Structure 1
């Protein structure tokens, strides 16, 4: 099928006229280039609004360096402006963990940088409020979602109030936007003024302190420490987070209230998890699945190229990892698509002109949580735990991998699919019977063998994150002993099937509770397992995570006990150096450090006195404190480079 320009949402006046429109209902502004694909939030929101019968346009990456004509070129929308920084927080997109500006922006043609301002949601919203003071501005996306309440901003090293304060936006939608948008549009179409949209789930707004809080008989209210109190007391700031996380993950959460200067922040409870019918409807919208033609001469968009032939099968994550924002944005409970909807999308991808028969990923936030939910819903309804699998797998959680195994096989039956890969990270702990004790062992074995035999392109990615039990407990991750158990299973299948695959474990340095000796242990243990670290991930504090609260405040929000965290550049760099124990320039420093703390045992493991090992000249290493992770095996295993590229 040959796409016409009018198949995309309009981005210019010319494209608006091509559709025969003389006005617009909603104009969206995004920090990303416009890719009309279900993996790109701005496109999803645009298509959702379009499905409600609205005339919608999108202005991708508006220029903030000229006369700001991009903000006024389409005029005034009938209902509201929508603003998002894009698929990532703009500061994460623009800067590395060491606060260095990135060389590339994955959501811009050719990876070019400079097309997305810092704090993009705030910048865009302020421009619109200045130019169109009488038109409502609605902000959403991950940047707005995770900054909806008092939060620590790593890049300015300061505590910031709700993003509503600095953006001057009228309303904020947090989390996945389909459900609140449906109600917003429904009420606006009935003639309800935008300023009266005060009791919609999953929205937040500011009102004057003296105003009465809108009534909703179904909601309970909980008040957290004010922004001003948080500025004075790090401990009270930390105390807020327990309430925020628990209420955000409840089936029926409370409304959260917080004083911010002369205003009150009101955060309405989230919606219940999307049903299969609802999430299918979102993915089944008429996406072209391609970047807008305006980018044809500017170069490929890296983020699109990465997911072009991939399929997202669910949303949400019940892992609740302390450093991760997935559950804070997508929710703790899993929203899974139907197999029918997924296979329909597989067929679309398979019939794309440049499809070569390889699906790069059948996955989600975690690859193997598809269709998993509570066995007894009433138990989940009362649950306040931030994780369903930490410190142990909940007895009420159905972790059957059978639906996923069946889905993989159904996908591979498509006549044009030669092979489907699992590019998303797999929760290996769910596949270890010693950890996932209530699971059907036969189903776990069938899934594990199916993945390793048919869906791995040279490398299988898993994320133990650390080897220290103290650090892992704070991370809400299982003991490293379960990684050993999984590796045993992986190796057995690898040998029996003569596959010659690599297991790629991901680790983090400088995480809260991590001491220098923990990193030395990590280096020694991974060396014993035969891994040589090539690039590593440094902990990056991002809003709305337990680890970030600890990083800033020094207190664990659930216990309010002091918790040590590597803060200084020197501490972070020293922890990082242990990843590269094999580099000659690090070895004397490691000797001195481990001798000083009396850990000659670790020194002998890492750099034995009779050490004759030398770094292979062909091994490329990059000793940088950054937030990308790859590993290579010390045993130089060969694998099909073509398949790796497809993965």
Structure 2
């Protein structure tokens, strides 16, 4: 019986009377290494524990968390692969109509703030059972944090959930340690020395070498204190030099231990060799399956961590900036296993990770000294100490292409074009374009304004321009019709209407017509979210302009799709507000054509200025006040 038990009957079929641990998730049960809870459950199994799964329990009923009875040692709880609030709501706070992590794509199978709700239901059942929380939802909410959906600062999720331990980051090592120490008889409240975890202590409990940050009460009301606390949190997220962090919450304190040391290559290979079924539980077949498996079933993750560290992204805070890679043999073994799967059609959808083309530490000194505080490896320009070499990645891709029954190997996760352009050898870029692009290559310049890119922690647009030029040169040379699809973001902190107009002009000049545009989405713990809430850049402590009204956000978004007829009215308003009426017309640079009324008004304004310059009285035109004459109302009895 390869899947772990999903109900009591499956537990009994294994000959078990009970389980050691129960893993609760807000997603359907998908036993694939791209699902965090699948990794945690298989790690526990590999450590010799009996594990039962509870997937998308009825959050209104505490009994749905009692499938196996009281577990011997405790519960591991996660809201799911993505934050439950992001799963439920768009950036405009509108309810989503579907959920790719639920059978049949049905929305509403998990509650808002699932981790909190699940833990509180478990507490209704067993007030003293050990509860450990993890995953992206818990990891990003480990301290007091701005909550976009409440538009307020909420306390640490440890407080609201009543959990005992919060495991942040990639949790294999801390999970194994917690499990063995609970099994040896240690009380869960004594497990306060495990790296990569947070716990609640009485306020004033001494924590050696700890960094104290502003309390929940203070950051809730003082935005400067919030910005400073954000910077302190970021500074201590390196496992080489990171210190414990303490934040007071009323009469107690949330304590974060230093981050767990990242898995080395051998340890990461071992995780990916665990007996994953790489598919959703068969009980979901009748409901239409689970859509989230489609892109990842035949994709390969070869690395973890990201030293790119964009300000709007949670990866560096969650996974860390240290990059760890699997061995080439581990990746090849996974690909060869695909060829034995009857669903495999010969196409490997991706060979990537947070950043597909990272296979090395950012520099040689980071293993001993950690990554630099207050500096980014790639922005605004690449660090002189940056290691750039695609040879190992390129050789791995070649070997994957040579596997019998593999027709094509694609790369669909993010390529850092700025990192790629630092490589003096064009071999990887040439083979990427020749063999690994399925017509379109997605890249993420995000914007073109230098001041906005600086707030994003991204390189300036010149890096993208150089990459774009080289990409199309090589594409033309090999005779393929392939295109770049740039990811773009509107309304990021720092972006004014004038910046949005600048981006619209960049798109027009480069003949780019984006089908999708992402509004900035303030998710917990990111630097960009701190700027959105406080109006302060935590790195510099200087003010930042923040577009917050729905009207301005709509205008910035419309400018990026200025070519759509339905956006014309908003684009016109935005251009007038930005003082760029010159971009309304039929000229080469113009974004939208003029309407008849606009032409007449502009003609009147020109004539009036000419008359005024000659000292003549103002015209009595219907545009004398800058407004068109209103049509007279029909008289009663007239058509």
With the length of structure 1 as denominator, give the TM-score of the two structures.
0.89
Instruction: Give the structure 2 partner of residue 27 of structure 1.
Output: 22
Q: Does 1:166 align with 2:160?
A: yes
Instruction: Give the structure 1 partner of residue 331 of structure 2.
Output: 342
State the SS of the aligned residue for 2:218.
helix
Number of equivalenced pairs: 592
Among 273, 280, 291, the residue aligned to 1:291: 280
Distance, in Å, in 2 between the alignment partners of 1:516 and 1:329 is 32
8 A Cα contact 2:374 2:539, kept in partner: no
Q: Does 1:606 align with 2:573?
A: no
Q: Does 1:271 align with 2:260?
A: yes
8 A Cα contact 1:312 1:363, kept in partner: yes
Q: Does 1:428 align with 2:409?
A: no
Q: Does 1:111 align with 2:105?
A: yes
Q: Which residues of 2 match residues 611-626 of structure 1 at below 5 A?
A: none
Distance, in Å, in 1 between the alignment partners of 2:476 and 2:187 is 66
Q: Does 1:48 align with 2:48?
A: no
Report the CA distance between 1:371 and its aligned residue: 3.2
Q: Does 1:553 align with 2:546?
A: no
Q: 1:378 to 1:338 in 2, by over 3 A?
A: closer
Instruction: Give the structure 1 partner of residue 116 of structure 2.
Output: 122
8 A Cα contact 1:203 1:268, kept in partner: yes
When the two chains are superposed, the root-mean-square deviation of aligned CA atoms in Å is: 1.6
Q: Kindly provide the CA deviation profile for residues 563-584 of structure 1, in whole angstroms up to 9, marking residues without a partner as x.
A: 1111111111111110221233
Instruction: Give the structure 2 partner of residue 213 of structure 1.
Output: 206
Instruction: Give the structure 2 partner of residue 632 of structure 1.
Output: none
Q: Which residues of 2 match residues 191-590 of structure 1 at below 5 A?
A: 191-210=185-204, 212-213=205-206, 220-377=209-366, 380-381=369-370, 383-385=372-374, 387-432=376-421, 436=422, 439=423, 441-442=424-425, 445-590=426-571
Structure 1 unaligned blocks of 5 or more: 1-5, 612-647
State the SS of the aligned residue for 1:285.
coil
Q: 1:348 to 1:386 in 2, by over 3 A?
A: farther
Q: Which has the higher contact order (CA 8 A, sep 6+)?
A: 1
Distance, in Å, in 1 between the alignment partners of 2:259 and 2:300 is 26
Q: Does 1:86 align with 2:80?
A: yes
Distance, in Å, in 2 between the alignment partners of 1:228 and 1:467 is 38
Instruction: Give the structure 2 partner of residue 188 of structure 1.
Output: 182
8 A Cα contact 2:239 2:260, kept in partner: no
Instruction: Give the structure 1 partner of residue 575 of structure 2.
Output: 594
State the SS of the aligned residue for 1:249.
coil
Report the CA distance between 1:293 and its aligned residue: 1.1
Distance, in Å, in 1 between the alignment partners of 2:366 and 2:559 is 46
Distance, in Å, in 2 between the alignment partners of 1:278 and 1:302 is 30
Q: Kindly provide the CA deviation profile for residues 124-144 of structure 1, in whole angstroms up to 9, marking residues without a partner as x.
A: 000001111121111100000
Distance, in Å, in 1 between the alignment partners of 2:570 and 2:33 is 49
Q: 1:380 to 1:387 in 2, by over 3 A?
A: farther
Report the CA distance between 1:379 and its aligned residue: 6.1
Q: Kindly provide the CA deviation profile for residues 268-315 of structure 1, in whole angstroms up to 9, marking residues without a partner as x.
A: 000222100111111110111111111111112111112111011111
Which deviates more from structure 2 when the two are superposed, residues 585-594 or residues 415-424?
A: 585-594
Select the structure of larger CA radius of gyration: 2
8 A Cα contact 2:418 2:459, kept in partner: yes
Q: 1:386 to 1:301 in 2, by over 3 A?
A: farther
State the SS of the aligned residue for 1:374.
coil
8 A Cα contact 2:21 2:50, kept in partner: yes
Report the CA distance between 1:209 and its aligned residue: 1.6
8 A Cα contact 1:523 1:606, kept in partner: no
8 A Cα contact 1:332 1:387, kept in partner: no
Q: Kindly provide the CA deviation profile for residues 80-128 of structure 1, in whole angstroms up to 9, marking residues without a partner as x.
A: 1110001011000111101011111111111111111100000000000
Structure 2 unaligned blocks of 5 or more: 596-639
Q: Does 1:57 align with 2:52?
A: yes
Report the CA distance between 1:381 and its aligned residue: 2.8
